[in-house]
Structure 1
Amino acid sequence: MLKHFSTQTDSGDVQMKLRPIAFTAAFIAIVSTASAQEFHRVTVMAFNVENLFDAEDDPDNTGDDTYLPLAVKQADPDHEANCRAHNDIDFYAQQCINLDWSEAVLDQKLAALADVIVAAAPYPDILIMPETENPAIVARLNNALPSELRFQTLVQLDSTSVTSDRGIDVAIASRLPLAAAATAHQVDFGTDTELCGGTRDIIEVPLTLPDGKALHVFGVHLPSGGNPLTCREHAMRTLIATRSALPQDALVIAGGDFNLNCSETRGDLFQRMVRFGRWGVPPEVTSGCAEPGTSKHRERGFGTWFTWSFLDFFLVSENMLAEQRSMSGWFVNLGSFRTAVTSGEQIEANGEGFVSSKRFNPENGTGVSDHLPVMIELVTR
């Protein structure tokens, strides 16, 4: 109960001192209410798991012919001819012919990926994984995790075309439940379909945040750097269009392998795509070609061992930026954006000691992926 205080001046006027006391009480009430509300943090990881194929043949997908046991390949009289027919570059043709992608090798790959995920701190609540072949291999990776850390929600729609692409898709795993059905969005290349070929579908997965609100998670794997920039522009336009179809106040995060190198993210086109799409982006992504990054950026014909790119990053809806007004109670801490190096198997050095990400080597079971994972955190206001 508020007490009323008054003072007497020399002139006899009474001056009430209610306002400061009332303000203080109201402030205490607000702080007490805020303190009683539970603080939430949701950690998101994007990790290109690099060719996570199973060891079984999909007869409809010539893109998985590389990832079969050598004994299966040698038993097929047409295997070598098929490899040469579907791989224009001799390196990939030889890999298709000779790589022994056995169950033992696959177990090593899964164990290496699981080691990185388990060691991440904090442990991811949402995991976006480009380059997965099918739902079964995603479930197998989940089972490779300790039982108490396995994800309850697994989304792999197996929707990408096996004729225009290799049949690999973006998967999303989460400890949060689905808020609605997941959707695959095919990238529209418009008049550049022949130029760009195919690419992975953009996956939209609505998840239920701890306070009951919905978070729309988009998993992306844009056309590779071997394609012209215009192909990645088309994919970004598809992402922006699908995000724009949501309610204006929807909470949205897009993550994965954007395949935009450090020169492209510094360019005017990317800046305009970010503004037009009403996105926020971690400042490191547009800071240039210096370390850190998720993969080395190599220009053919130039020595670029020193340059890095954030091929993997996150875009967040503007209504989750800390400086923006939002009634949702959530914001993305852009300052928490970081690469996650949790295992010595993730990195290698050349003869002069310069570090890069270490892709998985099936011959000796070393390495993990040619990309380093990235992480970011969503917190309640």
Structure 2
Amino acid sequence: MKKLFLSLALLAFVALPNAVAQKGYAKVTVAFYNLENLFDTEDGPNNDAEYLPDGANHWTLEKYHNKLHNMAKVISQIGGDGPAVIGVSEVENRKVLEDLVKEPALQRLGYSIVHYESPDFRGIDCALLYRPEIFKLTASSAHPVNIPGEPYIKTRDVVVAFGYIDNEPFSFLVGHWPSRAGGEAVSLNRRMAAAETMRAQADSILRLEPKSKIIMMGDFNDDPTSPSVVKGLRLKKGPKGLGANEFYTPMRKLYRDGIGTLAYRDVWNLFDIMCVNGNLIGKDHNSFKVYKDPKTGYYAYVFNKPFLRQQSGRYKGYPHRTMVGGEYQNGYSDHFPVYMYLVKELK
């Protein structure tokens, strides 16, 4: 048995129901987390004025290190012992990611980084953190989102990472689609452009490697039932009969059940979305498939432990943020992370 598979076997007994663990399944956790303005304190070439020591948020080294500590605390607990692969957004540069993975809570996991500088005006990027003993990266790339009729709007690239988990081809696509600034309807075409860019990259991968297991994820700034997600990504409504070149999002059921990842004016949204193709769906676990909880029917989950939530006041239950209205809160993010389990029967 290979060293890689031994490490996967050890993960099989963490945070999965006993019935699954007793049958001997390897488990790989995949997650996504919007880190909400993970900026350092140095003046960079981007629009980072708010996050400088003399800026509006009075962003000091102490606050920066607290933010790193808090983000590492969250990531280290997702899926029970930290995800094998996690997409992230709202990071300023590669340096903040290098500082993050050096945090004591994460250093033991040995994350490697896939990151590209994006053309976003504020300089916030998407990236992928992965454990190289589990996910064997072979290629990565970044793809710009060009918005028809609005070439002056520069948004985050779609980051793509291709590789293998136990000799099975996997591709992870990470995005942070344009916001709803100006109104949901007015800005919809921008998110449609991001969705179509992401789906085009997924289709390109499948043409080259039809057996690839693909997970598209990110902060889409729209809900699982929004036109940009459903039509832009060309999603099916459910997993039944899903073909290798077809996708669906397990977040749809969560959203319909009233579960969200961020709140605004007492309305919960689920902008943090993961989508999978048909190669990851099925009852045959001779290869990796997304785990379905037999009790809830969920294929994915929101990580919303009590320490991540406001415990009192008007915003009780909301995500506990780092900054609110310019006031430092020493919290985490305005989004909750999302995650899923990939499981494979051990032979």
Q: Normalising by structure 2, report the TM-score.
A: 0.77
2:161 maps to which of 167, 180, 205: 205
Structure-1 residue corresponding to 2:94: 135
Structure-2 residue corresponding to 1:33: none
8 Å contact 2:169–2:211 — kept in the other structure? no
8 Å contact 1:116–1:342 — kept in the other structure? no
1:69 maps to which of 36, 49, 53: 53
1:280-313 deviation per Cα after TM superposition (whole angstroms, max 9, x unaligned): 211545744x6321001x4xxxxx41x2111102
1:287-344 deviation per Cα after TM superposition (whole angstroms, max 9, x unaligned): 44x6321001x4xxxxx41x21111020111221126x89x82211252411112451
1:374 maps to which of 329, 332, 338: 338
1:258 aligns with 2:259: no
1:229-255 deviation per Cα after TM superposition (whole angstroms, max 9, x unaligned): 111111000011111111222111011
8 Å contact 2:191–2:228 — kept in the other structure? no
The one-letter amino acid paired with 2:302 is: T
* Secondary structure at the counterpart of residue 378 of structure 1: strand
The one-letter amino acid paired with 2:178 is: P
CA drift of 1:167 comes to: 1.2
Q: Where do residues 217-236 of structure 1 align in structure 2 (5 Å cutoff)?
A: 217-226=172-181, 228-236=187-195
Identity %: 25
Cα gap change, 1:341/1:151 in structure 2, threshold over 3 Å: closer, same or farther? farther
8 Å contact 2:126–2:174 — kept in the other structure? yes
Structure-1 residue corresponding to 2:138: 180
Structure-2 residue corresponding to 1:54: 40
Partner Cα distance (1:286, 1:199) in 2: 28
8 Å contact 1:178–1:205 — kept in the other structure? no
The one-letter amino acid paired with 2:261 is: T
8 Å contact 2:57–2:328 — kept in the other structure? no
The one-letter amino acid paired with 2:158 is: I
Cα gap change, 1:45/1:287 in structure 2, threshold over 3 Å: closer, same or farther? closer
Cα gap change, 1:370/1:244 in structure 2, threshold over 3 Å: closer, same or farther? same
1:186-245 deviation per Cα after TM superposition (whole angstroms, max 9, x unaligned): 112133434xx1211010012321x22221111111111225111111100001111111
Q: Where do residues 318-333 of structure 1 align in structure 2 (5 Å cutoff)?
A: 318-322=278-282, 329-333=287-291
2:322 maps to which of 338, 351, 360: 360
- Whichever of the two has the greater Rg, that structure is 1
Which structure dedicates a bigger proportion of its chain to helix? 1
1:119 maps to which of 77, 86, 89: 77
Structure-2 residue corresponding to 1:317: 277
Q: Where do residues 252-331 of structure 1 align in structure 2 (5 Å cutoff)?
A: 252-261=214-223, 265-267=224-226, 270-272=229-231, 273-275=234-236, 278-284=246-252, 287-288=255-256, 291-296=258-263, 298=264, 304-305=265-266, 307-322=267-282, 329-331=287-289
CA drift of 1:354 comes to: 4.2
The one-letter amino acid paired with 2:49 is: D
Cα gap change, 1:267/1:113 in structure 2, threshold over 3 Å: closer, same or farther? closer
Cα gap change, 1:139/1:178 in structure 2, threshold over 3 Å: closer, same or farther? same
The one-letter amino acid paired with 2:188 is: L
Which residues of structure 1 form unaligned runs of 5+?
1-36, 71-96, 299-303
8 Å contact 1:105–1:365 — kept in the other structure? no
Aligned length: 297
The one-letter amino acid paired with 2:271 is: L
CA drift of 1:146 comes to: 3.3
8 Å contact 2:72–2:106 — kept in the other structure? no
Q: Normalising by structure 1, report the TM-score.
A: 0.71
CA RMSD across the alignment: 2.6
Partner Cα distance (2:306, 2:210) in 1: 40
Which residues of structure 2 form unaligned runs of 5+?
1-22, 237-242, 293-297
